[in-house]
Amino acid sequence: MTTTDPVVIMKQEVGKAAADRVQSNSIVGLGTGSTTAYAIQYIGERLQKGELTNIVGVPTSFQAEVLAKKYGIPLTTLDAVTHIDVAIDGADEVDPHKNLIKGGGAAHTREKVVDSLANQFIVVVDSGKLVDKLGSTFLLPVEVIPMAVTPVMNKLEQLGGKPELRMGIKKAGPVVTDQGNLVIDVKFESIDNPAELEKTINNMPGVLENGLFVGVADVILVGEIIDGKPSV
Ligand code: 5RP
């Protein structure tokens, strides 16, 4: 189906550009989200056309697993491979140092495991995700085991954040991650030292992982519209 929505066009183009970088005989980390979904689709199409052979994917979420199966990408797990050649994943914010906020799809814990294992981690974003400073447009997601939600929220407040439990569609109940945990989204006025904040939050008892990805990304592919034309 064709679209005229510029954000969708940017996501499609950047997803395709990332899929084009995948080489035969490789183990590919498959990220989560609407942009990576296009990369997964195009990797599947390249496999179907015979342009790519001997690809195996490591999904970062149930969503990525379902999409990979839909597009015919064989899957494996981290128990069966010793490395990942390339991982492709989206982001909610990207700063000028290639640091990221991820977790808009509540998948950041598995994403960090897979993305940080990859020899090359390619981030795919539309130009609206670029920020000067992390935390300026997006809340920081923190995955927490359910019994620790209140003490972790208190600690995040002591750190200067404004935490909110992420609710699902129609606010009928909290969002539950693939691991059966909950997500707290935190507004920080300013994230001056992402590396330190990443460690501080992960050190809180009950926190599984937060969405700061510092020093993990290798390549940032940005989808843009220039003079009315899509470009990466
Ligand atoms: C999921 C993520 C996604 O990669 C991030 O939210 C970007 O998603 P999209 O490509 O749909 O904008 O981190 O946990």
Residue 198 contacts by C-beta under 8 Å, 6 or more apart in sequence?
210, 212, 214
pLDDT at residue 170 above 90? no
Q: What is the pLDDT of residue 225?
A: 83
Q: What is the pLDDT of residue 228?
A: 79
Q: What is the pLDDT of residue 25?
A: 97
Q: Any idea what the Cα angle at residue 214 is, between residues 208 and 218, rounded to 5°?
A: 120
For this complex, say whether ipTM is above 0.95.
Answer: yes
C-beta separation of 207 from 144 below 8 A: yes
pLDDT at residue 2 above 80? no
Q: Considering 111, 143, 198, 209, which one is annotated as catalytic?
A: 111
Nearest atom within ligand 1 for CA of residue 104 = 6
Q: Any idea what the Cα angle at residue 208 is, between residues 35 and 190, rounded to 5°?
A: 70
Q: Which of 77-81, 105-109, 132-136, 168-172 has the lowest mean pLDDT?
A: 168-172
pLDDT in tens, 86-140: 999 999 999 999 999 999 999 999 999 999 999 999 999 999 999 999 999 999 9
Closest Cα partner for 125 from 211, 35, 187? 35
Q: What is the pLDDT of residue 7?
A: 86
What SS3 class is residue 136?
coil
pLDDT in tens, 197-221: 999 999 999 999 999 999 999 999 9
The single-letter DSSP state of residue 88 is E
> Binding site membership: which residues?
32-35, 89-92, 102-105, 129
pLDDT at residue 151 above 80? yes
**Could you tell me the pLDDT band of residue 6, with boundaries at 50, 70 and 90?**
confident
CA 176 from centroid of its chain's CA atoms: 17
The CB of 114 under 6 Å from ligand 1? The reply is: no
C-beta separation of 59 from 65 below 8 A: yes
pLDDT at residue 66 above 90? yes
The rounded distance, in Å, linking the Cα atoms of 183 and 209 is: 10
**Could you tell me the pLDDT band of residue 231, with boundaries at 50, 70 and 90?**
confident
Q: Which two tokens stand for residue 11?
A: 């996501």
Q: Pick from 14, 34, 60, 221 the residue to mutate for probing ligand 1's pocket: most ligand atoms within 8 Å of its CB.
A: 34
Averaged pLDDT score across all residues of the chain: 96
Residue 164 annotated among the catalytic residues of the structure: no
CA dist 221 → 54, 99, 108, 109, 184 (Å): 24, 13, 19, 22, 28
Across the range 28-45, mean pLDDT stands at 98
Q: What is the pLDDT of residue 1?
A: 60
Count CB atoms within 10 A of the CB of residue 202: 14
